[in-house]
Amino acid sequence: MAQGSTLFVGMDVHKETIAVAYAAEDREAEVVAFGTIGTRQCDIDKLIRKLQAKGKRLPVVYEAGPCGYWLYRYLTKKNLKCWVVAPSQIAKKAGDRVKTDRRDAMQLARLLRSGDLTPIYVPAVEDEAIRDLVRAREDALKDVKAAKARLKAFLLRQDIRYEGRATWGPAHLRWLAEVVCPTPAQQVVFQEYVRAVSEHTERLQRLEAELHTQVQPWQWVPVLEAMQALRAVQFTVAVTLIAELGDLSRFDNPRQLMSYLGLIPSEHTSGERRRQGAITKTGNSQLPAVRSSREPGLTAIRPRSAAICSSAWRRCPR
């Protein structure tokens, strides 16, 4: 194999190990399983040295997963071209029921050589940090809702009913402070449920406050403020959308953006018959919650440009 050739490298990345395979430029050449290495930087450096002895150019690909983008960033700093691909976009043979790390790495190398892979967008470190904060807030909100549901279910089982109107307001909280359960054991359970609601609510408030603070030096603040000029788009919805989408300039046209959001219709066309169905709802799993978000009580940060805001409100249908 010529030293100036290209080796297409596939990696199946796990917490402690990485299965590696490579394929030469020649389409007729067999894909070679290199073996399994560790995940330390010294292991990666040793692998690069060995592969560079076989080929000068080393494009690398691995699947997105729970290990994040550290490997992508490390290889990029080494001046290697690295792709991260979505597992759902990798073609699989029907009826193939044998799956191993070695096979997965070889399949990735083969598909990278044939040009049948599409890389996903890898956010910058600063963008990923805001996204992590946004997702932590979303987790806290889910915990608050779950804790409230458990408390309500417990009170319903005891036939303890609140006669007021709005729940979780000052009047409801005062009523909760006066609730007495039939037995001491149940009183302990009730108090723990109430404490869980309070703790999760406080965590949610801390994360929301940090989110407002941390976005101030963010490069996408102008986009964040402009997006809030749209009717019903408040701060939390806007920052979640931007944090998940990243750099909007990566979309060449609005149709690509709508496709990424899963807002284009599904289609099944055969011959002269064309059939379109409901929207695909594919893409980022965090964004459907943004489309349906109606969270009261969240304070929006008003755009600096009153002209933009006024124009947007005039053009949006009521």
Reading the block at residue 59, the tokens are 């494009």
Mean pLDDT of 280-305: 52
Residue position matching structure tokens 């979780």: 168
Mean pLDDT of 18-40: 94
> Would you say residue 234 has pLDDT above 60?
yes
Residue 117: the pLDDT is 94
Residue 91: the pLDDT is 81
Mean pLDDT of 181-201: 97
Question: Is residue 201 within 8 Å of residue 130, measured between CB atoms?
Answer: no
Residue 311: the pLDDT is 58
Residue 289: the pLDDT is 53
Kindly state the DSSP code that residue 229 receives in the 8-state scheme.
Answer: T
Question: Is residue 119 within 8 Å of residue 85, measured between CB atoms?
Answer: yes
Separation CA 269–CA 143 (nearest Å)? 43
> Band of the pLDDT at 158, cuts 50, 70, 90?
very high
Mean pLDDT of 212-237: 92
Look up the pTM and report it: 0.81
Question: Is residue 63 within 8 Å of residue 83, measured between CB atoms?
Answer: no
User: 3-state class of 236 per DSSP?
Assistant: helix
Residue 298: the pLDDT is 35
Separation CA 311–CA 230 (nearest Å)? 9
Question: Is residue 114 within 8 Å of residue 61, measured between CB atoms?
Answer: no
Residue 200: the pLDDT is 97
> Would you say residue 263 has pLDDT above 70?
yes
> Would you say residue 288 has pLDDT above 70?
no
Which residues are CB-neighbours of 291 under 8 A, at least 6 positions away? 261
Mean pLDDT of 294-298: 39
Residue 301: the pLDDT is 35
> Band of the pLDDT at 292, cuts 50, 70, 90?
low
Mean pLDDT across the chain: 88
> Which residues partner with 63 through β-bridges?
85
